[in-house]
Amino acid sequence: MIEILTSGVALGVHVPGLLLADRIRDQGGTANVSVLERLMADETLATTARSKQAFHRDFRVALAGQKLARNASVATDEAEVEELLQSWHSRAVSRFVVFSGFWLGLVEQYVDRFGPVPVDVCHVDSVQSPSFDKARPTSLEVRHVWLADADAGLIPCSIPVSRELPVSWQERDRRLLVHGGGWGMGTYRERARELLTTGFDLDVVAYEDRDLSDAGVRYFMIDPSWHPWLDNGYPPFGEAGQPFEQREGHHGSFDLCRQALATVSKPGGGTLLDSLWSATPAVLLEPFGPHEQRNADLWIQLGYGISFEDWQRKDFAVEILEELHEALLTADVSDYSRELL
């Protein structure tokens, strides 16, 4: 039994954990996903939900909040933690895969009580992300697994979003997918308005009803009432005004990404994962912190992405995107889920 430990405060951390669990199960393995926020009181979760809305509405608030964030594990309930530790023991967990640094102290408690278990720290970002920076130093012996490595300038391994081959360039719609990650953060709404004049059709992932403003845009949404700590499904997703669907196998927005000429977003780790497995170029917007800037630098270095400003200077040329798509098609990376089994 492989226990995958994610956090619901960032879909770029949580969704890769869900994908890893599904890829393990596809091959006959067993995996379970635990979400840190399930160990927290309802009032703490309500505060988290309010923060998400504030961060969406003002990117400056989000950047300031990132600097002030504390170790989330201090907000966990002792009784809930005890129940989870006993559950891990009863299910004979054979390996932990940690996607958020805030889990490390709880895994330490388990190892101290029940004995050593192999621990992988899986980095979705290309450098250490804030949850690992803010977590206290761990006494655990861990193996670091990098889904992108800015220092080495490569992709050591990855988690397949889908086993389907990328859509060919000729079969793609003349559409751009514009979004702000799971919390809808960043400057993507302003950039979407600029892109309306370039001749591309736009798919924009809105975060709340008040975002549905520009005519000529096809809007999609994650169900605003859903949170990762409610279930282990992918975010319920759908076109605005239509019923939400909880996709199986991978998240719904990936289907849009596969069909697009480019995805226009801040450079989160989840965005890079989607770009890689769909062979869809990334047009990179302002980052959410230094770790995302390193993500952007790596994607540009590998020839898989371009900054919005550089693409703008090239008059939003489709030919640029096709070159990036061709480079992505040549990416040859090992499958982390296969290595685990």
Q: Which domains does the chain have, with CATH numbers?
A: 2-160 (3.40.50), 169-331 (3.40.50.2000)
Least confident of 7-16, 205-214, 266-275, 313-322: 205-214
| Helix-, strand-, coil-residue percentages of the chain, each rounded to 5 | 45, 20, 40
Nearest to 281 by CA among 163, 206, 177, 158: 177
| Dist. CA 269–CA 175, nearest whole Å | 22
Q: What is the pLDDT of residues 303-336, one digit of tens each?
A: 999 999 999 999 999 999 999 999 999 999 999 9
Hunting for tokens 């006993």 — which residue is that?
A: 86
Q: pLDDT band at 71, cuts 50/70/90?
A: low
- pLDDT, residue 17, reads 98
Report CA torsion sign: 262, 268, 273, 274. Answer: negative
Helix (H, G, I), strand (E, B) or coil at 262: strand
CA distance 32 to 229: 14
Predicted local distance difference test score (pLDDT) of residue 54: 45
E-strand stretches of the chain = 2-6, 31-35, 95-98, 119-123, 142-146, 157-158, 175-178, 201-206, 217-222, 237-239, 262-265, 282-284, 305-307, 334-335
β-bridge pairing 262-265 and 175-178: parallel
The predicted structure's pLDDT at residue 59 = 45
Model confidence band, residue 113 (pLDDT cutoffs 50, 70, 90): very high
Helices 269-278 and 11-26: angle between axes, nearest 10 degrees: 40
Average pLDDT over residues 259-264: 98
State residue 186's pLDDT score. 80
Instruction: Please tell me which residue, 279 or 207, carries the higher pLDDT value.
Output: 279
Once rounded to an integer, what is the mean pLDDT over residues 1-11? 92
**DSSP code string of 28-79:** T--EEEEEGGGGB-HHHHHHHHHHHHHHHH-HHHHHHHHHH---GGGGB-HH
Task: Report pLDDT for 235.
Answer: 95
Confidence of residue 243 (pLDDT cuts 50, 70, 90): very high
Pick from 228, 40, 13, 5: nearest CA to 130: 13
pLDDT attached to residue 61: 42
Of the candidates 281, 271, 290, the residue with the CA atom closest to the CA atom of residue 326: 281
pLDDT at 49: 61
Distances (CA, A) of 228 to 6, 49, 224, 235: 9, 11, 11, 7
- pLDDT-derived band at 48 (thresholds 50, 70, 90) equals low
CA distance 338 to 173: 33
pLDDT at 50: 60
SS3 219: strand
DSSP character at residue 182: T
Spatial separation of the C-alpha atoms in residues 312 and 306, rounded to whole Å: 10
pLDDT given for residue 185 in this prediction: 74
| Mean of per-residue pLDDT scores for the chain | 90
Sign of CA dihedral 96, 124, 134, 83: negative
What's the mean pLDDT in 45-54? 59
Q: What pLDDT is stored for residue 65 in this prediction?
A: 44
Out of 107-121, 211-225, 279-293, least confident range: 211-225
Position 68 scores a pLDDT of 41
- Answer yes or no: is pLDDT of 46 > 70: no
Q: Is 217 in a helix, a strand, or coil?
A: strand
132: which residues sit within 8 A by CB, 6+ positions away?
101, 121, 123
Whole-prediction pTM? 0.92
DSSP helix/strand/coil, 111: helix
SS3 306: strand
* Contact of 263 with 271, CB cutoff 8 Å: yes
Residue 205 has pLDDT above 80, yes or no: yes
Top pLDDT among 214 and 193 is at 193
Report the pLDDT value the prediction gives residue 187, as an integer from 0 to 100: 87
pLDDT for res 43: 75
What per-residue confidence (pLDDT) applies to 69? 47
Residue with tokens 């019923």: 243
Q: Nearest 5°: phi and psi at 334?
A: -80, 155
